[in-house]
Amino acid sequence: MSQDKIADLLSSIKNAYRAGKKQITVPWSKLGFAVANTLVKEGYLASVKKEEKKGDPRLKMVLNLSYSRGKPAVTDVKRISKPGRRVYVQAKDLPFYERRLGITILSTPQGVMAGKEAIKKNIGGELICRIW
């Protein structure tokens, strides 16, 4: 595993969709869980739940993938803000990122949310990724 847990989460989701899986288990992190819940809200994942096993101190997330007529909900992902290069945007710059297909996910002072929700609330933050 790399230091970038969000990139690991996103690539696991993308690879699972490409392999046609229905469910995957990934390591739990607070930010990763928030990103996964945002993906559930936006319809890119069917559900997410936190899993604890007796005797195992590591927490896991179980992600149920969403398909529409046999087609995966996610075709690709792009990590924008990385540990070596953080990318922040103001609310006025968000429509530029939202014009493309898919959604952007941001970490804002009010929590992790999709770009269109941040535009409605008029808040900016760190651009985590784009999903389409």
pLDDT higher than 90, residue 106: yes
Rounded distance between C-alpha atoms, residue 103 and residue 113, angstroms: 10
Q: What is the pLDDT of residue 101?
A: 82
**Strand order from edge to edge, sheet including 23-27:** 23-27, 56-65, 45-53
30-38: average pLDDT: 97
Residue 112 vs residue 54, higher pLDDT? 112
Mean pLDDT, range 115-131, rounded to an integer: 96
All structural domains of the chain with their residue ranges: 5-131
Give the Cα separation of 81 and 112 in Å (integer): 14
User: CATH number for the 5-131 domain, one of 2.160.10.10, 3.40.50.300, 3.40.50.11540, 3.30.1490.10?
Assistant: 3.30.1490.10
Which pLDDT score is estimated for 61?
Answer: 97
Dihedral of the alpha carbons of 113, 125, 86, 114, in degrees to the nearest 10:
20
Paired with 114 in beta bridges are: 105
Other beta carbons less than 10 A from residue 108's beta carbon: 15
Confidence (pLDDT) at 44: 97
